Amino acid sequence: MRIRLTHAAAPRAAAVLPLPRPLRPLAPLAAALALLAAATGCGLAGNDGGSVSRGSLDGRLTGAGATFPEPLFAEWMTYYGEHVETGAGIDYQAVGSGGGIEQFLAGTVDFGSSERYLEESELEVAADVRGCPAVQFPVIFGAVVIAMNDEALDGLILTPEVIAGIYDRSITRYDDPAIAELNPDLALPGEEIVPVHRSDGSGTTFVFTHYLTTEVPSWAENYSAGTDIAWHEDTRGGDGNEGVTRTVRDNPGGLGYVNQSYALSNNLATARVVNADDTPVAPTLAATTAASEEAEIPDDFQFAIDGIGGDGYPITGANWIFAYECGYDEDTAALLRDFWTWTLSDATADQSAAALGYAPMGRALKTRVIEEITRINASG
């Protein structure tokens, strides 16, 4: 087995690297797996995904992109190389969604990863560079959580307007009247809020700012949405989910947006966010699944998860994988198709996702995505 997960950025402190399993699970694992089985139909195609004879694949894949799914990708890639295809090697660089898109379009990796889909202009570039269309498909859903330094603030209720106010610095203290009104039974500290954002091009930033743009008109007017925006000068930046997590954890009053897995593995408090039905919702697996099920997903898999109500957690995003219809050698193409099909077909892959706080896709969507994966290298 040859599996190496690498980072293009400078080395980060080991204390904030995601752990193999969260220290504070979203829910008891048995309950999470029961929910998972009901929602997705675990074991959709059996443990081998039904694609090839196991042990027949050999080769190495290179990929780059989002830090959002990195804890899960690490588990998937390790398990696949140790138990499914022992001749396979996967190198994944967690450089952020922006870097993943850039490296994919530049042709320096076999696959890219991002929390936003490729836009039409990028699809045109991909087709021009490669000489064939790009293939893009979602593989997982996850929550972008508001994480805080103070454990006593776990469950703090926030609205999109308050979150926007924190990041545009019109709200600077935890005991601000706008926060106090939402949390009458919570003893709020008088300390300053230290808002932390991603300093790299990030799909997590896209999910977060897209949410604020759709919910808060003033944010749409002054900041808009993007993988990298012009933040208020009084906010702080962190490189990757790990950098934001570290900055939140190390600074009294710290507050930042990160993948749920990073908040869990570092024991950070998380906020409940008021959704479109005025319901404060915690970022649990069930709430993420509920949000994902409200998304309308077209045939081209270009979608956003907006206006979430009911039991859904409102800041929910997907992770997309990018590949091509041509240009791979036969072994690389077979490995690409098989690995991503396995992640959507194998019960162990779903169980790993649930344990880390990601929401696997439902059965019908998995079937659609697996069909899309067959387009990889289909035109040679």
Over residues 240-268, the pLDDT tens digits come to: 899 999 999 999 999 999 998 888 888 89
Q: Is residue 289 packed enough to be buried (19+ CB in 10 Å), middle (13-18) or exposed (0-12)?
A: buried
| C-alpha to C-alpha distances, 41 to 31, 231, 365, 377, nearest whole angstrom | 15, 42, 11, 29
**Is residue 155 located within the same domain as residue 290?**
yes
For residue range 214-236, list pLDDT tens digits in order: 999 999 999 989 989 999 999 99
* pLDDT at residue 53 in the model: 58
Same domain, 133 and 149: no
| Whether 264 and 332 share a structural domain | no
**CA-to-CA separations, 106 to 103, 122, 247, 373, in angstroms, rounded:** 5, 11, 32, 21
What are the backbone angles phi and psi of residue 166, rounded to the nearest 5°? -65, -40
Same domain, 113 and 197: no
Q: Are residues 184 and 233 in the same domain?
A: yes
Question: Per the domain annotation, does 221 fall within a domain?
Answer: yes
Q: Is residue 353 part of a domain?
A: yes
115 belongs to a structural domain: yes
Do β-strands 111-114 and 316-324 pair in parallel, antiparallel, or remain unpaired? antiparallel
Of 13-22, 76-85, 207-216, where does mean pLDDT reach its minimum?
Answer: 13-22
Residues forming a β-bridge with 269: 148
SS3 label, residue 316: strand
Residue 240 placed within a domain: yes
In a domain, 73, yes or no: yes
Classify residue 270: in a domain, yes or no.
yes
Phi, psi for 215 (deg, rounded to 5): -105, -25
Find the DSSP H helices in the chain.
29-40, 70-79, 97-106, 120-130, 160-167, 177-182, 203-215, 217-222, 240-250, 260-265, 285-294, 330-345, 347-355, 363-373
Is the separation of the CB atoms in 160 and 216 below 8 Å? Answer: yes
Q: Is 137 helix (H, G, I), strand (E, B) or coil?
A: strand
Are 115 and 66 in contact by the 8 Å Cβ rule? The answer is yes
Nearest to residue 285, comparing CAs of 269, 264, 301? Answer: 264
Range of the domain at 352: 2-8+15-141+318-373
The secondary structure element, H or E, covering residue 131 is none
274 phi and psi, to 5 degrees?
-75, 125
On whether both 137 and 160 belong to a single domain, the answer is no
59 in the same domain as 177: no
What are the tens digits of pLDDT across the range 114-139? 999 999 999 999 999 999 999 999 99
How many angstroms separate the CA atoms of 41 and 324, rounded?
29
The share of the chain scoring above pLDDT 70, in percent, equals 86
Buried b / exposed e over 114-124, threshold 16 CB at 10 Å, is bbbbbeeebbe
Query: pLDDT of 337-347, one tens digit each?
Result: 999 999 999 99
Judge if 211 and 100 occupy the same domain: no
- Domain of 24: which CATH number? 3.40.190.10
241 within some domain: yes
Side-chain half-sphere of 106: how many Cα atoms within 13 Å? 11
CA dist list (Å): 121 to 65, 118, 125: 19, 8, 6
- CB 67 within 8 Å of CB 240: yes
Domains in the chain: how many in total?
2
Same domain, 323 and 207: no
Assess whether 151 and 252 both reside in one domain: yes
pLDDT (0 to 100) of residue 5:
39
- Helix 29-40 vs helix 285-294: crossing angle, to nearest 10: 20
- 135 and 46 in a single domain? The answer is yes
More confident residue, 278 or 355: 278
Q: Are residues 65 and 135 in the same domain?
A: yes
Q: Does residue 77 sit within a domain?
A: yes
